[in-house]
Amino acid sequence: MLGTEFCSKDVPAQDRFEYWKEVVGRTRACDMGSVHADDFQAEGRLMELGPATVVTATFLPTRFQRDPVMVRRFDQEVYHLSLLVEGKMALEHAGRADSFGPGDLHLADSSRSFDLRSTDGPLRRTLTVLGVDLPKALLPFPSHRVHELLGRGMSGIDGTGALLADFLIGIERHAPTLQPSDAPRLSTALVDLMSAWLAQLLNTPAVLEPETHRRVTVQSVKAFIRQHLHDPALTPSVIAAAHHVSLSYLHRIFQQQAQGETVAAWIRARRLEGARGDLADPSLRGTPIYAIGARWGFLRADDFARAFRAAHGVSPRDFRHQCMAESA
């Protein structure tokens, strides 16, 4: 498992809000208050990814304030990135005020004051936030350019912002099966995606290192493949055209970043994973096997059967029977 979990229910009710303040204080020094402090609820995970820290948290409405005195006393020289997954929040920071909803990203600078709060008022409705603290020195942008983005609501559902948001959600989802040894690789990917996201917003793609650009392009290609796995017309040529690169360049960078695996092989593996999950799903046992294969891009039943047997050593039919027997 990657990171350490925290849950307010692990401490007595009267200590839960103080516990929440202690957890937040490990990464962000600020004053905190909540109308629900007497009966507080919060849970999540704290993950150290090399120089970056990722926090996933679900909590009752809280107000976070950092004043100039705190900035002078304790400045980590980091950027705070937050993805709001559930709830509504408002931020006053760097001379701007904006509000955020699910799917929005916002950026803050530890060297500046901020006032971040839930806008649900006294309602006892939880918020879910994925947060990143990343040293400024790791990003190839001068502070005066990043200042243009501070305190603004930015989309996490399209462009490079969607890649970044999906990556953070993926870390949170797979944290129970990730290991501390995975942290360096995840840290590199996180820095790459944040750099590409900022470069897109600031319209400065030239500042990205060529290797960073290649890694981000492969991340984008993989996301595109996942979104179009059900389309039998998905081919390397289609992917290259969608990313405005040549087919030879796509093959070259993909194999470099995927330890030699080809684009076509990666597509096939993801499709077979999806089909395997459907075959093992009891709620889909009435769905014909050929229909499951077709849903995952295998239009010919014989092609699906051969590919599945080559990957898993058993036919789709036998695999389904095994799963149903184990379920029973």
Structure confidence at residue 260 (pLDDT): 83
d(Cα 77, Cα 130) in Å, to the nearest integer?
A: 20
Contact 301, 293 (CB under 8 A): yes
Contact 132, 106 (CB under 8 A): no
- In the predicted structure, residue 128 carries a pLDDT above the cut 90: yes
How many other CB atoms sit within 10 Å of the CB of residue 140? 14
The tokens describing 39, both together, are: 């009966």
Sign of CA dihedral 261, 266, 268, 270: positive
The tokens describing 210, both together, are: 């060529």
Cα angle 90, 93, 98 (rounded to 5 degrees) comes to: 35
d(Cα 69, Cα 113) in Å, to the nearest integer?
A: 9
The string of pLDDT tens digits covering residues 37-56 is 998 999 999 999 988 999 99
Structure confidence at residue 54 (pLDDT): 94
The string of pLDDT tens digits covering residues 169-217 is 999 999 999 888 889 889 999 999 999 999 999 988 777 788 888 888 8
d(Cα 320, Cα 86) in Å, to the nearest integer?
A: 37
Amino acid at the residue 303: D
Mean pLDDT of the chain: 91
| Closest of 301, 300, 305, 327 to residue 316, by C-alpha | 305
The string of pLDDT tens digits covering residues 234-250 is 999 999 998 888 999 99
The tokens describing 83, both together, are: 């993805």
Mean pLDDT of the region 314-328: 89
What are the CA-CA distances from residue 301 to residues 65, 228, 249, 315 (Å)? 60, 20, 33, 11
Contact 113, 69 (CB under 8 A): no
Structure confidence at residue 32 (pLDDT): 95
pLDDT band at 145 (very low <50, low <70, confident <90, very high): very high
- In the predicted structure, residue 92 carries a pLDDT above the cut 90: yes
E strands within the chain? Answer: 4-7, 31-33, 42-49, 52-59, 63-66, 78-86, 89-93, 96-100, 104-109, 114-118, 127-135, 154-155
Mean pLDDT of the region 251-276: 90
d(Cα 264, Cα 235) in Å, to the nearest integer?
A: 7
H or E element at residue 140: none
pLDDT band at 74 (very low <50, low <70, confident <90, very high): confident
Mean pLDDT of the region 83-98: 94
d(Cα 272, Cα 275) in Å, to the nearest integer?
A: 5
pLDDT band at 273 (very low <50, low <70, confident <90, very high): very high
Mean pLDDT of the region 296-321: 93
Sign of CA dihedral 92, 115, 156, 125: negative
d(Cα 191, Cα 216) in Å, to the nearest integer?
A: 10
Model pTM? Answer: 0.76
- In the predicted structure, residue 327 carries a pLDDT above the cut 80: no
| Closest of 229, 156, 228 to residue 194, by C-alpha | 156
